[in-house]
C-alpha cells in the first residue's frame, strides 16, 4: 500500500509517501529524522498485517510542510536522512519543497 | 411574554435508521457492529453473519462517547437486540478513540474502502470519501484492500461542514442544494475560494450584487467539486469510481465533479442482487460503519479477535469444591 501522509493546498503538494509493501519496519528512519515525526508500529490501515510498519505520527501530519522543510527533500545532491537510510527505498517526498526551494534561490 | 418560534435549521439533514425484517438475529452466529463517529455525523451498523441487519445515522454531538452511544441506541432501538448480544464492535472515524462500546479501532480509510467494496461491489477501484471535515481519495483492490490513499485534512474547506454553513447562510435546506444548483440558465464562474469563512463573505457579496440564489449555489458547488478533483487527479481515478459520505448525496457537487474529471461515478445501488431486489435503503454515509462491522467479522473468523458476547449460559462446571461458572 502507498500511504501519502501530509496535505495538498493552494501552495502545493506536501506529502511524505511511504510504500508499506517495501517497508520492513527496521526503524532506522525514526532514528535519523531530526524532527522525530516518524514512528514504527502496527499498521493502522491494514489490521491484518503482522509486521510493524513506519508511519508519520498522527499529530505531525498537518505540520509536515514545516517539519520536513529543514531537510529540503527533493533538492540538492544529498537526499534527506530518512530517504538515504531506507534500504528498501520506501520513503519519498512530493514536489512541494523542491518548487519552494527553487523559488527562493533563483 | 413574547412567543418564541423554534428556529428552522436549514443545515440539518434528516436522521435515519433502518432494520432488516428478513433476518432473525437470534439465529445468527456472529453479530458484529461498526460505529463510525465522524466530525458531523455518527453511524452505527449491525451485521448478522455478514448481512446488513440494522443501521442508525445520527448527528455527532459535542462529545464522541455520547454520540457513539446515541448512534448505537438509535440503531438498536427497534431490533430487540441489546448491546451485550453483539460479538465484536469496531470503532472508526474521527472520534474513534472515544467509542466506549468498541473493542478495537480501525482507521476510517480502511473501513470506507471495505464498506464501498461491500456496497458497490468488487469492481470498485477508486473511493472518494467526502466527509464532514475532510476528504479522502482511496485506490482499492477487488477485496476492498487499500492500495493507495491520500487525504486532505488541512481544514474544513470544501467539505460537508462547509456546505452546512453555506446552506444556513442562504436559507436553503441542505437537501435542496443539489437540485437547485441546476436550475440556472448558464453555469456561473465558481467561487474563488473554498475556505468556509472567505466563501461566506464572497457569497454575501454576490447576493448583494443581485446574483440569483441558485447561481450562487451552483458557484459554490463547482468550487467544491474543483477542490476534490485536484486531490483525485493527483492520486489517479479509475473505473469504477464511487463516492461515499454525505456529499455523495449532493448531486450538484457530484455531477460537476464528474464533468471535471471526465469520469462517471457508479450508480448508487447495492451490488448484492438480493439487497437491490428488496429495496434496502442505500445510504452512502454508512459505508465506514459497514466496513468496520465487516472487519469485526473478519477478525473473529480469522481468530485475531475473540467474541465478547455475554450470553450468561453456563458453559461448564469445573468439578471440584468450587464450581466455577464460565460465561461464554
Average pLDDT over residues B27-50: 91
User: Which structural domain, as residue segments, surrounds residue B133?
Assistant: 125-265
Distance from C-alpha of B189 to C-alpha of B280, rounded to nearest angstrom: 39
Same domain, B112 and B208: no
CATH (one of 3.30.750, 1.10.10, 3.30.70, 1.25.40) for A2-104: 3.30.70
Nearest to A8 among B146, B234, B295 (CB): B234
Alpha-helical segments (H) within chain B: 64-76, 108-120, 160-170, 177-180, 196-208, 213-235, 251-261, 273-277, 287-301
Average pLDDT over residues B137-160: 84
Phi-psi region of A14 (alpha: psi -120 to 50; beta: other; left: phi over 0): beta
- Quote the ipTM score: 0.85
Q: Which of B62-66, B154-158, B172-176, B302-306 has the lowest mean pLDDT?
A: B154-158
Same domain, B59 and B174: no
Q: Which of B106, B151, B293, B299 is the mutation pick for testing A, counting most A CBs within 10 A?
A: B151
Give the per-residue pLDDT at B43: 92
Give the per-residue pLDDT at B2: 63
Give the per-residue pLDDT at A53: 93
- For residue B280, whether the previous peptide bond is cis, meaning omega lies within 30 degrees of 0, is no
Note whether B124 and B266 are within 8 A (CB): yes
Is pLDDT at B322 greater than 70 in this prediction?
Answer: no
Is pLDDT at B239 greater than 50 in this prediction?
Answer: yes
Can you count the helices (H) and strands (E) in chain A?
4, 5
Beta-carbon pairs below 8 A across chains A and B:
51
Is pLDDT at A99 greater than 90 in this prediction?
Answer: no
* Confidence tier at B328 by pLDDT (50, 70, 90): very low
Which residues of A, range 17-76, sit inside 8 Å of B by Cβ?
Answer: 44-48, 61-62
Same domain, B133 and B257: yes
Distance from C-alpha of B294 to C-alpha of B116, rounded to nearest angstrom: 11
Is pLDDT at B317 greater than 50 in this prediction?
Answer: no
Which of B220, B237, B265 represents a domain boundary (last residue)? Answer: B265
Contacts of B131 (CB under 8 A, 6+ apart): B38, B39, B40, B94, B108, B159, B160, B245, B246, B247
* Chain B interface includes A3 (CB < 8 A): yes
> For residue B12, how far is the Cα from the chain centroid?
15
Please indicate whether, in this complex, the C-beta atoms of A4 and B145 are within 8 angstroms of each other.
Answer: no
Give the per-residue pLDDT at B311: 59
Same domain, B33 and B79: yes
In tens, the pLDDT along A27-82 reads 999 999 999 999 999 888 888 888 899 999 988 888 888 888 888 777 766 788 89
Q: How far is A105 from chain B (nearest CA, A)?
A: 26
Nearest to A7 among B106, B154, B302 (CB): B154
Q: Which of B86-90, B197-201, B297-301 has the lowest mean pLDDT?
A: B197-201
Give the per-residue pLDDT at B287: 93
Q: Which of B88-92, B150-154, B215-219, B320-324 has the lowest mean pLDDT?
A: B320-324
Same domain, B82 and B154: no
Residue B147: which CATH number? 3.30.420.40
Which of B248, B265, B282 represents a domain boundary (last residue)? Answer: B265
What nine digits make up the cell of B273? 442482487
Nearest to A45 among B109, B230, B302 (CB): B109
Q: Which residues of A touch B302 (CB under 8 A)?
A: 48
Same domain, B276 and B261: no
Is pLDDT at B316 greater than 60 in this prediction?
Answer: no
> Between B132 and B182, where is the model more confident?
B182
Distance from C-alpha of B17 to C-alpha of B32, rounded to nearest angstrom: 17
Q: Is B92 helix (H, G, I), strand (E, B) or coil?
A: strand
Average pLDDT over residues A5-14: 82
What is the model's pTM? 0.87
Give the per-residue pLDDT at B116: 94
Q: What is the mean pLDDT of chain B?
A: 86
Q: Which residues of B touch A61 (CB under 8 A)?
A: 153
Domain count along chain B: 2
Which of B216, B245, B265 represents a domain boundary (last residue)? Answer: B265
In percent, the amount of chain B with pLDDT more than 90 equals 35
Please indicate whether, in this complex, the C-beta atoms of B153 and A4 are within 8 angstroms of each other.
Answer: no
Same domain, B72 and B169: no
Give the per-residue pLDDT at A50: 86
Is pLDDT at B327 greater than 70 in this prediction?
Answer: no
* Chain B interface includes A2 (CB < 8 A): yes
Q: Which of A79-93, B150-164, B262-276 has the lowest mean pLDDT?
A: B150-164
In tens, the pLDDT along B72-98 reads 999 998 888 888 889 999 999 888 888
Q: Which residues of A touch B149 (CB under 8 A)?
A: 1-4, 45
Same domain, B133 and B260: yes
Q: Which residues of B touch A13 (CB under 8 A)?
A: 234
Same domain, B234 and B150: yes
> For residue B58, how far is the Cα from the chain centroid?
10
Amino acid at each position: 500500500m502507498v500511504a501519502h501522509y501530509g496535505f495538498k493546498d493552494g501552495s502545493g503538494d506536501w506529502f511524505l509517501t511511504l510504500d508499506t509493501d517495501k517497508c520492513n519496519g527496521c526503524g532506522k528512519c525514526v532514528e535519523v529524522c531530526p524532527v522525530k515525526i516518524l514512528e514504527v508500529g502496527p499498521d493502522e490501515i491494514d489490521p491484518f498485517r503482522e509486521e510493524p510498519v513506519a508511519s508519520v505520527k498522527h499529530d505531525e501530519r498537518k505540520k509536515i510542510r514545516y517539519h520536513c522543510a529543514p531537510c529540503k527533500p527533493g533538492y540538492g545532491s544529498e537526499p534527506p536522512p530518512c530517504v538515504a537510510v531506507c534500504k528498501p527505498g520506501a520513503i519519498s517526498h512530493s514536489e512541494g519543497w523542491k518548487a519552494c526551494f527553487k523559488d527562493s534561490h533563483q | 411574554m413574547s412567543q418564541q418560534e423554534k428556529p428552522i435549521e436549514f443545515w440539518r439533514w434528516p436522521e435515519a435508521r433502518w432494520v432488516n425484517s428478513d433476518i432473525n438475529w437470534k439465529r445468527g452466529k456472529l453479530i458484529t457492529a461498526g460505529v463510525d463517529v465522524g466530525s458531523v455525523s455518527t453511524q452505527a451498523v449491525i451485521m448478522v453473519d455478514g448481512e446488513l441487519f440494522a443501521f442508525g445515522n445520527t448527528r455527532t454531538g459535542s462529545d464522541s462517547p455520547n454520540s457513539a452511544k446515541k448512534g448505537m441506541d438509535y440503531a438498536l432501538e427497534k431490533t430487540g437486540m441489546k448491546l451485550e448480544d453483539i460479538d465484536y464492535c469496531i470503532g472508526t472515524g474521527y472520534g474513534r478513540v472515544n467509542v466506549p462500546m468498541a473493542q478495537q479501532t480501525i482507521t476510517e480509510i480502511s473501513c470506507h474502502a471495505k464498506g464501498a467494496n461491500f456496497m458497490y461491489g468488487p469492481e470498485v477501484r477508486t473511493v472518494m470519501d467526502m466527509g464532514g471535515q475532510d476528504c479522502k481519495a482511496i485506490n482499492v483492490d477487488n477485496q476492498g484492500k487499500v492500495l493507495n490513499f491520500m487525504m486532505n485534512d488541512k481544514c474544513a474547506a470544501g467539505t460537508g461542514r462547509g456546505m452546512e454553513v453555506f446552506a444556513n447562510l442562504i436559507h436553503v435546506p441542505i437537501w435542496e442544494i443539489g437540485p437547485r444548483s441546476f436550475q440556472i440558465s448558464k453555469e456561473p464562474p465558481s467561487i474563488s475560494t473554498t475556505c468556509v469563512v472567505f466563501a461566506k463573505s464572497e457569497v454575501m457579496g454576490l447576493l448583494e450584487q443581485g446574483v440569483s440564489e441558485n447561481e450562487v449555489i451552483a458557484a459554490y458547488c463547482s468550487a467544491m467539486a474543483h477542490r476534490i478533483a485536484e486531490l483525485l487527479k493527483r492520486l489517479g481515478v479509475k473505473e469504477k469510481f464511487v463516492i461515499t459520505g454525505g456529499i455523495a448525496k449532493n448531486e450538484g457537487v457530484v455531477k460537476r465533479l464528474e464533468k471535471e474529471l471526465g469520469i462517471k461515478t457508479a450508480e448508487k445501488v447495492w451490488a448484492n442482487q438480493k439487497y437491490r431486489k428488496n429495496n434496502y435503503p442505500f445510504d452512502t454515509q454508512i459505508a465506514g460503519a459497514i466496513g468496520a462491522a465487516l472487519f469485526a467479522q473478519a477478525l473473529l473468523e480469522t481468530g485475531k479477535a475473540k467474541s465478547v458476547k455475554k450470553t450468561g449460559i453456563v458453559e461448564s462446571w469445573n468439578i471440584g469444591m468450587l464450581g466455577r461458572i464460565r460465561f461464554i
